[in-house]
């Protein structure tokens, strides 16, 4: 799978660990930054990830920050993006099953790195169940 990834300074450390894991899993990963832990404005890195996913250059996107909230908000401003904020396995799975999330937002300050890695793996493996929401999501995207 082609995956875009990005973070601000508060998510940098986990981004690097997750990126390495994704590559080990065989995914094609592009890092949109930031590239160190110096204070950075998250929209500068999150918006390009979201745009790349929305444009179809990547199948999924993963963004990280301190809490993940600002990153999810920024990503969801891009048409065609459904970015789920996950702080545990259940919220990650539901974002895929029920919302067909094409992006995942994580907060480095909200969980241990092992938990973040589990969340990413589960999120990537979880299919969209569709159901009655499938056509509605497709119609909204086409508008």
Is-contact 57 2, C-beta < 8 A? yes
Closest CA to 75 of 116, 100, 39, 42: 42
Active-site residue, from 16, 37, 98, 133: 98
**Does position 27 have pLDDT exceeding 60, yes or no?**
yes
What token pair was written down for 29? Answer: 């990963």
Residue 108's domain comprises 2-142
State yes or no: is 98 an active-site residue. yes
The residue with tokens 């600002």 is 70
Q: Report the pLDDT averaged over residues 31-56.
A: 97
| Number of domains within the chain | 1
pLDDT in tens, 110-127: 999 999 999 999 999 999
Tens of pLDDT, residues 49-94: 999 999 999 999 999 999 999 999 999 999 999 999 999 999 999 9
Look at residue 103 and tell me whether its pLDDT is greater than 90: yes
Q: What is the pLDDT of residue 119?
A: 98
The CA-based angle 87-100-13, given to 5 degrees, is 35
In a 10 Å sphere around its CB, with 0-12 CB exposed, 13-18 middle and 19+ buried, how is residue 79 labelled? exposed
- The two tokens of residue 18 are 């997750």
CA separation for the pair 106, 113 (Å, rounded)? 10
Q: Residue 28 maps to which CATH number?
A: 3.40.1400.10
Average of per-residue pLDDT values in the chain:
94
pTM of the model: 0.91
User: Residues of the chain with pLDDT > 70: what percent?
Assistant: 91
Residue 130: per-residue pLDDT: 77
9 is catalytic: no
- The pLDDT of residue 85 is 98
For 81, phi then psi, to 5°, come to -100, 135
């Amino acid at each position: 799978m082609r995956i875009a990834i990005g973070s601000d300074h508060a998510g940098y450390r986990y981004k690097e660990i997750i990126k390495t894991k994704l590559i080990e899993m065989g995914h094609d990963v592009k890092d949109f930054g930031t590239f160190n832990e110096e204070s950075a404005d998250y929209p500068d890195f999150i918006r390009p990830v979201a745009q790349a996913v929305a444009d179809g250059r990547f199948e999924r996107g993963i963004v990280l920050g301190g809490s993940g909230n600002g990153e999810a908000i920024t990503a969801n401003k891009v048409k065609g993006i459904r970015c789920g904020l996950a702080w545990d396995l259940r919220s990650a799975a539901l974002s895929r099953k029920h919302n067909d999330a094409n992006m995942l937002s994580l907060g480095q300050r909200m969980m241990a790195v092992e938990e973040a890695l589990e969340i990413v793996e589960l999120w990537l493996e979880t299919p969209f169940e569709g159901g009655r929401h499938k056509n509605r999501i497709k119609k909204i995207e086409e508008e």
